[in-house]
C-alpha cells in the first residue's frame, strides 16, 4: 500500500466513524443538507440569501438527482438540483473535503446539466441559465474570500462577456475577505459551526434536528453509509490485489532489466580489459622482437669494426715492409 493509499484509507475510516454518529450530524453533511433543502420555503430563503433577490417559486428535480447520459459514461449525483419561475437551474452542493478538483468538477456538472436539458428536446438557444454552487467548509482557492464567482469573459477585452448563461460560485465558510450580506455571513457561520444567529439559521437548525429524529431517514443514511463502506472495501481489496500483482510483475521485470544491464556493462568492461591486455601483449612481443633485432645489429656492427681494425693493421704492416 502506498503512503497516499494509506492516508486515504485512514481518512475514510475516520469519516465512517464520525458520520456513523447520526446525532452529531449538521447541515454540512451532504445527506442532511439535501434533506433540509427539500423544504421549499427554507430552500427559497437560502437561494435568496445567496443571490440577494426574491425568488417567487422553485420546483425540484429528483432528490440527489443522478444524471447518466450514456451507459458507459460517468454519472453525476447532485445534492440539490432545482429551477425557479424563470427556468434558471440551480445545482447546490455541500463540499467538506478538498480533493483539488472543484474547477473541473463544476465544469463537468454544468455540462451534464446542459446535456440533460438538450435530451429533453431543447434547442441550443433554449438552454436555461444555470448556477453550479459549491458551499465549501474549506477555502478552495486560498485567498480567504467568502465568495468566488466565475463567468466566461474575453481574455483580450474583459468587458466582453461570452453570455453563455453559466455561472460557477464557490462559497467559503472560513472566508474573511469580501463584501457579503450579513444574512449570507450568518449562513456560512452556521454551516461552519452549527451556531444559529438569525431567523433563517434558527429555522435550519430546527430542520436539521427534525431530520435526525426521522427514523426512516436515519435508516436510509446508515444503508447508504454501509454501501459506501462495501464499495470502498471492495475497491480497496481489488486495488491492493492489483497493486500486489503489478508490483511482483514490475519487480521481476526490473530485476531482469537490471540483470541484463549489469551483464552488458560487465561484458563491455571485460571486453575492453581483454582487448587492452591483448594489445599490450602484441606490443610487448613486438618490442621484444625489436630488442633482439637491435642486439643482432649491434653485434654485426661490432664484428665489422673488428674486421676494419684488423685490415688497418695489415695495411700498416705492409707499408712498413715496403719501406724497409
Assigned domain for 27 exists: yes
Q: Which residue range is the domain that position 161 belongs to?
A: 3-213
Assigned domain for 280 exists: no
Percentage of the chain exceeding pLDDT 90: 44
Dihedral sign for Cα atoms in the order 204, 208, 213, 216: positive
Task: For residue 69, name the pLDDT band (cuts at 50, 70, 90).
Answer: very low
Assigned domain for 139 exists: yes
Assigned domain for 277 exists: no
- Residue where the block lists cell 606490443: 283
Q: Is the pTM of this model over 0.85?
A: no
The whole-angstrom separation of Cα 138 and Cα 243 is 32
Assigned domain for 283 exists: no
The residues facing 166 across adjacent strands are 130
**Lowest mean pLDDT across 53-57, 189-193, 197-201:** 53-57
Count the domains in the chain.
1
Q: What's the Cα-to-Cα distance from 254 to each of 174, 257, 320, rounded to whole Å? A: 48, 5, 98
Assigned domain for 165 exists: yes
The whole-angstrom separation of Cα 46 and Cα 43 is 5
Amino acid at each position: 500500500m502506498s503512503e497516499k493509499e494509506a492516508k486515504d484509507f485512514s481518512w475514510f475510516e475516520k469519516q465512517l466513524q464520525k458520520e456513523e454518529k447520526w446525532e452529531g450530524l449538521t447541515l454540512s453533511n451532504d445527506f442532511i443538507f439535501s434533506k433540509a433543502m427539500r423544504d421549499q420555503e427554507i430552500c427559497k430563503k437560502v437561494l435568496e440569501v445567496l443571490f440577494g433577490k426574491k425568488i417567487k417559486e422553485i420546483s425540484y428535480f429528483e432528490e440527489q438527482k443522478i444524471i447518466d447520459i450514456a451507459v458507459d459514461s460517468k454519472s453525476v449525483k447532485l445534492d440539490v438540483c432545482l429551477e425557479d419561475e424563470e427556468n434558471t437551474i440551480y445545482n447546490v452542493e455541500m463540499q467538506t473535503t478538498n480533493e483539488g478538483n472543484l474547477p473541473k468538477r463544476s465544469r463537468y456538472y454544468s455540462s451534464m446539466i446542459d446535456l440533460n436539458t438538450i435530451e429533453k428536446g431543447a434547442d441550443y438557444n433554449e438552454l436555461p441559465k444555470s448556477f453550479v454552487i459549491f458551499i465549501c467548509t474549506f477555502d478552495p482557492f486560498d485567498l480567504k474570500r467568502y465568495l468566488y464567482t466565475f463567468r466566461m469573459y474575453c481574455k483580450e477585452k474583459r468587458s466582453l462577456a461570452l453570455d453563455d448563461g453559466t455561472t460557477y460560485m464557490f462559497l467559503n465558510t472560513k472566508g474573511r475577505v469580501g463584501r457579503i450580506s450579513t444574512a449570507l455571513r450568518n449562513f456560512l457561520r452556521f454551516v461552519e459551526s452549527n451556531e444559529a444567529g438569525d431567523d433563517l439559521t434558527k429555522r435550519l437548525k430546527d430542520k436539521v434536528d427534525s431530520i435526525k429524529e426521522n427514523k426512516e431517514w436515519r435508516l436510509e443514511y446508515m444503508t447508504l453509509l454501509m454501501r459506501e463502506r462495501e464499495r470502498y472495501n471492495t475497491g480497496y481489496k481489488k486495488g491492493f490485489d492489483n497493486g500486489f500483482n503489478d508490483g511482483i510483475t514490475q519487480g521481476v521485470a526490473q530485476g531482469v532489466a537490471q540483470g541484463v544491464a549489469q551483464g552488458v556493462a560487465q561484458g563491455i568492461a571485460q571486453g575492453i580489459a581483454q582487448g587492452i591486455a591483448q594489445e599490450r601483449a602484441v606490443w610487448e612481443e613486438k618490442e621484444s622482437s625489436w630488442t633482439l633485432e637491435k642486439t643482432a645489429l649491434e653485434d654485426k656492427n661490432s664484428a665489422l669494426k673488428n674486421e676494419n681494425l684488423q685490415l688497418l693493421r695489415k695495411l700498416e704492416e705492409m707499408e712498413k715492409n715496403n719501406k724497409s
